[in-house]
Amino acid sequence: MTVIVDYGVGNLFSLSCSLAAIGETGVVSSSKELLARADRIILPGVGAFADAMEKLTSSGLSESVCAAAARGVPLLGICLGMQLLFETSFEYGTHPGLKLIEGCVKSIPVPETLKIPHMGWNALSFGKEKHPLFRYVSEGEYVYFVHSYAAADCEKALIAQTEYGVPVTAAVAKKNVLGCQFHPEKSGAAGLDILKAFCEFRKGDL
């Protein structure tokens, strides 16, 4: 069972439809009891970091997500959901995150000729070794981004980058905790293949 965390800031319907397209049942829930039984967890997110973190914390779901990660349950953060996995965000102030991955979230230092937010299709680069999350996609495949901030100082967790005037963190992983800055649920066949790989992970695989 893959649980999509419902804390008020996510593309829940799009994710549910994408999981259904690959034959996986995605249960949208804010139930702590269900999170405790989940085989996998997806943490979506759109909007501002501080607002999302406040909602996740005030609902008590931050504790459930962190507890599941500590048990080895595969956890995938998407877009803002990925940013919440880090220690700190500098989006309109300084805000603590879930501290599941070392690093921080900063504005993208793009040249003046490029617009922010970074919005559109960009190619993935995996570096020397391809992570199992990308087992069904090839380097150079395009995925869809919509963001103004990105993960930084996270070299140990970096598993994919893209280019938008400067190198931009596209995906990270620390054991069973993974994150995609792009939206796999909006990235066509490549995105579905990434979700398929994630849904094949079991506790202890990573």
pLDDT of residue 70: 97
Helix, coil or strand: residue 48: coil
CA angle, 13 then 87 then 168, to 5°: 70
Of the candidates 141, 147, 183, 199, the residue annotated as catalytic is: 183
Of the candidates 79, 154, 180, 199, the residue annotated as catalytic is: 79
User: How confident is the model over 94-103, as a mean pLDDT?
Assistant: 98
Which domains, ranges and CATH numbers included, belong to the chain? 2-199 (3.40.50.880)
pLDDT of residue 163: 96
Q: How far apart are CA 172 and CA 195, in angstroms?
A: 15
Q: State yes or no: pLDDT of 25 exceeds 90.
A: no
Contact 48, 1 (CB under 8 A): no
User: For residue 180, what are the β-bridge partners?
Assistant: 78, 171
Q: State yes or no: pLDDT of 10 exceeds 90.
A: no
pLDDT of residue 160: 98
Both tokens of residue 26?
């995605």
Q: Over the chain, what is the mean pLDDT?
A: 96
Both tokens of residue 130?
């391809």
pLDDT of residue 106: 97
* Residue 185 is a catalytic residue: yes
Q: pLDDT tier at 128 (50, 70, 90 boundaries)? A: confident
Q: Are strands 40-43 and 26-29 parallel, antiparallel or unpaired?
A: unpaired
Q: pLDDT tier at 111 (50, 70, 90 boundaries)? A: confident
Q: What percent of the chain is predicted at pLDDT more than 90?
A: 90
Interaxial angle between packed helices 49-58 and 61-70, expressed in degrees from 0 to 180 and rounded to the nearest 10: 90
Q: What is the pTM of this model?
A: 0.96
Q: State yes or no: pLDDT of 46 exceeds 80.
A: yes
* Residue 79 is a catalytic residue: yes
- 111 φ, ψ (degrees, to nearest 5): -65, 160
Both tokens of residue 78?
């998407």
Q: pLDDT tier at 18 (50, 70, 90 boundaries)? A: very high
pLDDT of residue 11: 77
Interacting residues of 97 by C-beta distance below 8 A, sequence separation 6+: 49, 53, 83, 84, 85, 86, 87, 88, 89, 105
Q: State yes or no: pLDDT of 149 exceeds 90.
A: yes
Peptide bond into 132 cis (omega under 30): no
Of the candidates 95, 118, 154, 185, the residue annotated as catalytic is: 185
pLDDT of residue 8: 86
